[in-house]
Homo-oligomer: A and B are copies of this chain.
Amino acid sequence: MISLRKTRLLNFTQLYRIGQPYKTGAVVLPVDEINFTPSAAIEGMTLTTLDSGIALTISLSPQDRVYGLGQTVGPLNKRGKKYRLYTTDDPVHTPDKENLYGSHPFVMIGSKSPYGLSIDYPAEICLDIGFTDHNVIEITIPSYDADIYLFRAQGHTLTFKDIVKEFLLLTGAPYVPPKWAFGYQQSRWSYPDARSIAQLAERFRKEDIPCDAIYMDIDYMDNFKVFTVDYNKFPDFAAFTGKLKQDGFRLIPIIDPGVKIQDGYDVYEEGKHKGFFCTTKDGSLFQAAVWPGLTHLPDFVNPDARRWWGSLCKRFLDMGIEGFWLDMNEPSIFYTPEAMAAVFDLVSEMRNNPEIPKRCLQDMLNNLSNHRSYFHSLHHRTPSGARISNDKLHNLYGTLMAEAVADAFMENMPGRRYFLLSRSSSAGLARTAAIWTGDNMSWWEHMLSNIRMLMSLNMTGIFYNGADIGGFGCDVSPELMLRWMQLGVFCPLCRNHSAFGTRRQEPWAFDAQTLNCLRDTIKLRYALIPCSYSEFMRCAADLTPFIRPVMFDFDCPFDVEDQFMYGDSIMAAPIHQPNATGRYVMLPQSSWLLCQALTHDNWAVSALPPGVHYIECPLNTTAFFIKENSIAILSEPMSYVGQREIETLRAVAFVTQTARFTYYEDDGLTYDYKKGVYCTLRIEITNTNGQYYIK
């Protein structure tokens, strides 16, 4: 018999507590100090006790949508698939995959009168959302301890936006990066040394392509040892960082959790000495093979280990680094020594016994990476001193790593915003960091996936996010690169990243026409930053998703999953099909101004009535829409964010009655905006019988 208690929180949240849940840190309210009352059932759901946990069953109406889950493959409406929330490093995001790097057990269910559901539980949760039976959601949790939050109003109708806001009141306001993070960012596995980075930076300026950040992938390190810099490649790293910053470039090094097992390597020695590494159940140090070979994994569940990790980050902060990307923190494990020994043993057996099917070896090798058994074996020490298997709180690892790094920034750069991407994430990460969506491919399908994750991640509070533009794995075509960059205009994180061994993806890696179009597209993004940043900061303050489905704002005759609202004024409708000269769009409710931008200041505009249209969008054009009675503002594009003061703003507006826009500006670097140190400019345009009045 499980224990079930409930209480009411916030505006319309009901918390159902099952057993004694682990304190994940996902929720910012002090829910443990609340008085619960016993409950017999969870409203609107069937709670079943299983042999090894609990199951929640929810009925769906035929027209119900299911939104949420943050980072998963597949359509925006999650109905029709099975999901397994268990953070993992899977580099091939085919449509059948059940889990990726993040775990966000928050869904919204319904159509006209939706409700929400969030599960605060740190490990595997399985969701069958209308897959086995189209009209049933079945959620299984392998535990008798979990917090279930239900977001459902009594007596009045909620919107999807209301539910997201309530969820963010519960889990905390979204992370806000420095303003330069809205610039274009260039990455590659790898720009391995100072010389290649300096040449890259110079090339951006020479080609007149704006850029704000350059990423350092794993090859900058000495032998993949975390918190080292190979000084053969970077003779004076601090000076190099400073020089680049003068030229308007931030350097963003990668940080992996695995600490190479190597005598004399200070990080290894110190971590081992202080007991900051994860162990096996019996307390011996756990060994995981990743890029550096065999490593130990820091125990981020231990607050002292987190502080220690933060102190190591300070080495980079002292050399002028203001941002990191945290990789491999699901955690990813290529293999363990024990698993490799088992492979060797099987091969020995096969030599002696030809009857053993050869597929056994292939299967074993295919399942070598991130085998579930590793996470059973990997153990943490909880604050109470007890050992706990990683499998029991698996999804927290990346988030706790990000917290360690974020704390280091806040301690060492007090009052200043930091830039932090984490590959792995779980509920609560949205407060401290952003994510990129991992190892996608140069597939048109993954561009569409990017569009959908932008929206789903915004629902979970990760407003600032993006995919690797052009695709990480596989070779990109110039057309896909360009179409994806046109989407990138409307991705908060606009980073071009690609894998070792693939076709180069820098803007000049293609033909002259593609280079020119990419330049124009990136400049368009920069020209729109006054608009984007104003809207982002407003949404972050309002706890309203910055990027959201059209269905959040409008009554739509049917669902569209390849258009999205970008703030309140702009609707993006990227081309995501090869060889397309245009696309279908659905314009909901009002008229819209179609903007076909050739460059940042050469747009064709035309008003279209509501309904279904096919719009032309040649390869050199970025097409998007401005809502009726709305305004988009632009500035001259700069080479990098903050290069000059903005002196002139341009407004593109579609006004039949009255349109308003609040332009927002702050220092872009600190949290002073929270103290009211920012300025706004309210722009109002009125159309009175064809005469426009501007205030």
Contact = CB atoms under 8 A, between A and B. Distances in A.
Contacts of A558: 580-582, 614
A613 interface: yes
Nearest to A77: B579
A613 B479 CA distance: 27
B347 A578 contact: no
Given A79-B579, A80-B578, A134 B477 contact: yes
A96 B445 CA distance: 11
Given A96-B443, A361-B365, A614-B558, A81 B579 contact: no
A443 B93 CA distance: 12
Interface residues of A, number: 63
A265 interface: no
Contacts of A80: 477, 479-480, 578-579
B362 A351 contact: no
A343 interface: yes
A26 to B, nearest CB: 28
Interface in A290-339: 334-335
Nearest to A341: B351
A358 B289 contact: yes
B578 A74 contact: yes
Contacts of A81: 477, 578
Nearest to A96: B474
A645 interface: no
Given A75-B577, A95-B443, A131 B365 contact: no
A298 to B, nearest CB: 23
Interface string A124-135: 000000110110
Interface string A352-373: 0000001101100110100000
A71 interface: no
Given A79-B578, A511-B134, A343 B347 contact: yes
A629 to B, nearest CB: 25
Contacts of A511: 133-134
Contacts of A474: 96
A559 B580 CA distance: 8
A477 to B, nearest CB: 5
Contacts of A340: 358
A463 B441 CA distance: 33
A444 interface: yes
A351 B344 contact: yes
Contacts of A578: 74-75, 77, 79-81
A242 interface: no
Interface string A467-495: 00000011101111000000000000000
Contact of A95 (B130, B359, B445): B445
Interface in A112-132: 130-131
Contacts of A552: none
A496 interface: no
Given A579-B65, A612-B614, A614-B557, A335 B358 contact: yes
Contact of A368 (B335, B362, B443, B559): B362
Contacts of A359: 334
A678 interface: no
A193 to B, nearest CB: 22
Contact of A96 (B366, B442, B584, B613): B442
A94 interface: yes
A350 interface: yes
A414 B130 CA distance: 52
A96 to B, nearest CB: 4
Contacts of A95: 441, 443-445
Kindly name the residue among A65, A75, A365, A441 whose own CB sees the greatest number of chain B CB atoms within 10 A. A365
A9 interface: no
A445 B445 CA distance: 8
A586 interface: yes
Contacts of A586: 614
A505 to B, nearest CB: 14
Nearest to A79: B579
Nearest to A511: B133
A466 to B, nearest CB: 21
A441 B96 contact: yes
A471 to B, nearest CB: 9
A309 to B, nearest CB: 27
A376 to B, nearest CB: 21
Given A81-B477, A478-B134, A94 B443 contact: yes
Contacts of A289: 358
A310 to B, nearest CB: 32
B577 A479 contact: no
A445 to B, nearest CB: 6
A134 B94 CA distance: 27
Contacts of A65: 579
Given A362-B365, A561-B577, A584-B584, 18 more contacts: A79-B578, A79-B579, A80-B479, A80-B578, A81-B477, A82-B475, A94-B94, A94-B441, A94-B443, A96-B473, A133-B478, A334-B358, A335-B358, A343-B361, A344-B351, A558-B582, A612-B612, A612-B614
22 contacts: A75-B579, A80-B578, A80-B579, A82-B475, A94-B443, A95-B443, A96-B441, A96-B443, A96-B475, A133-B511, A134-B477, A134-B479, A134-B513, A334-B358, A340-B358, A344-B347, A347-B348, A362-B368, A365-B365, A445-B445, A558-B614, A612-B613
Which are the 9 A-B pairs with shortest beta-carbon distances? A347-B347, A584-B584, A96-B474, A95-B443, A77-B579, A365-B365, A612-B614, A80-B477, A80-B578
